[in-house]
Amino acid sequence: MEIIDAHSHFLSYNYFRLLTQQRAHYDNIDDFIVDRSRRYNFNVPPDDPVRLADQWVIEMDRYGVSRMAIMASIPGDGSSVAAALRIYPDRFLGITMVDPYLAVAEELIEHKAREWGFRGIALYPSLHRFSARSDRAYPIYRLARRYRLVVYVHFGHLRVPPRRWWDLPDLYDPHYSDPSDLHQVAADFPTVKFVVPCFGAGTLRSLLRLGLQCPNLYVDTSSSNNWIMDQSEFSSLREVFERTLEVFGPARMIFGTDSGIFPRGWRHDIYQQQLDILHSIGLSPRALEAIMGRNTRDLFGLDRDLPTYVV
């Protein structure tokens, strides 16, 4: 069975530099990063993103992971993911976080798709404070349609541990956290594939309603899904899988872990937990293979050559 992790984060050294620059006060950036790594028990990434890519490939080989979708998890760090794609084009799928308020957002998307081979976009409406259905976001969807980019849109509860470790203010606006904002968008762009991560991160009921209406909508299973503890409607991750399978079926679910830092590395614990649940539900081997890898392969067009643009 091919395992493709459809949701991970390439937390490069430059990512932590850019994160530090968001603070109001800091002395030496490098010293600050080292201090936080010791305080929160994570390894400082190599300064060269290629060396970080090497670490991830070793980790993937250890667990039999064929490919990983790696996100540039802060605007401005696309070059780090591009370095990984250049060295390991058959192991990584590049996804870029996009802030639609950036004046050059559209130009950056085009450059990353054309020149660097990125295959996806990640939008965080609650973090960047915009509605997924707003006019500001529509140029991004048009580019996704043109370059056949997969569009991840994060709704629900948003937890970004490095922001908390860096003592950055909580900027998340819950007004933009409802998956129903994607309803008209998915209808307007029927050829674009949209992915909502983490089972909607606490908005599963709304996501299930949306899934009934939007055949181009997918769900990824990533993260530890701790949002389950903050609500009472769904009693367990098994129930979440069962309800999601009822609406989306195995053809519109993709496996992910939300891996991102060392020494924890690839989240084999999440993989094993989800695999055990799917076995216990009685999923067929073919359906299991679809969720764990084949759907992501199809979603990203891995069996077609790039670039293929749609005018």
Residue 310, domain member (yes or no):
no
Residue 306, domain member (yes or no):
no
Q: Note the pLDDT of residue 310.
A: 47
Predicted confidence (pLDDT) per residue in 88-123, tens digit: 999 999 999 999 999 999 999 999 999 999 999 999
Q: What percent of the chain is predicted at pLDDT more than 90?
A: 89
DSSP 8-state secondary structure symbol assigned to residue 182? G
State whether residue 224 is helix, strand or coil. coil
Residue 126, domain member (yes or no):
yes
Reference 211, options 174, 186, 234; nearest CA is: 186
Averaged pLDDT, 287-304? 95
Q: Note the pLDDT of residue 76.
A: 92
Side chain identity, residue 134:
S
Side chain identity, residue 282:
G
Residue 304, domain member (yes or no):
no
Side chain identity, residue 193:
K
Residue 94, domain member (yes or no):
yes
> Burial, 31: exposed, middle or buried (Cβ in 10 Å; 0-12, 13-18, 19+)?
exposed
Q: Note the pLDDT of residue 311.
A: 41
- 218 neighbors 196 (Cβ within 8 angstroms): yes
State whether residue 273 is helix, strand or coil. helix
Residue 110, domain member (yes or no):
yes
Q: Note the pLDDT of residue 306.
A: 53
State whether residue 69 is helix, strand or coil. strand
Reference 125, options 153, 152, 160, 96; nearest CA is: 153
Q: How far apart are CA 73 and CA 10, in angstroms?
A: 7
> Between residues 170 and 121, which one has the greater pLDDT?
121
Residue 32, domain member (yes or no):
yes
Answer yes or no: is pLDDT of 279 > 60.
yes
Averaged pLDDT, 29-58? 97
Reference 250, options 213, 214, 281, 210; nearest CA is: 281
Residue 196, domain member (yes or no):
yes
Answer yes or no: is pLDDT of 307 > 60.
no
Q: Could you tell me the residue range of the domain that residue 229 belongs to?
A: 3-299
Q: How far is CA 240 from the centre of its chain?
A: 19
Q: Note the pLDDT of residue 159.
A: 84
Q: Note the pLDDT of residue 148.
A: 97
Answer yes or no: is pLDDT of 241 > 60.
yes
DSSP 8-state secondary structure symbol assigned to residue 70? E
Predicted confidence (pLDDT) per residue in 173-223, tens digit: 989 999 999 999 999 999 999 999 999 999 999 999 999 999 999 999 998
CATH number for the domain harbouring residue 287: 3.20.20.140
Q: How far apart are CA 172 and CA 150, in angstroms?
A: 23
- Residue carrying the six token digits 């490939």: 57
Answer yes or no: is pLDDT of 157 > 50.
yes
Answer yes or no: is pLDDT of 273 > 50.
yes
Q: Note the pLDDT of residue 305.
A: 60
> Burial, 282: exposed, middle or buried (Cβ in 10 Å; 0-12, 13-18, 19+)?
exposed
Start-to-end Cα distance in the chain: 36
Answer yes or no: is pLDDT of 272 > 70.
yes
Instruction: Count structural domains, the chain.
Output: 1
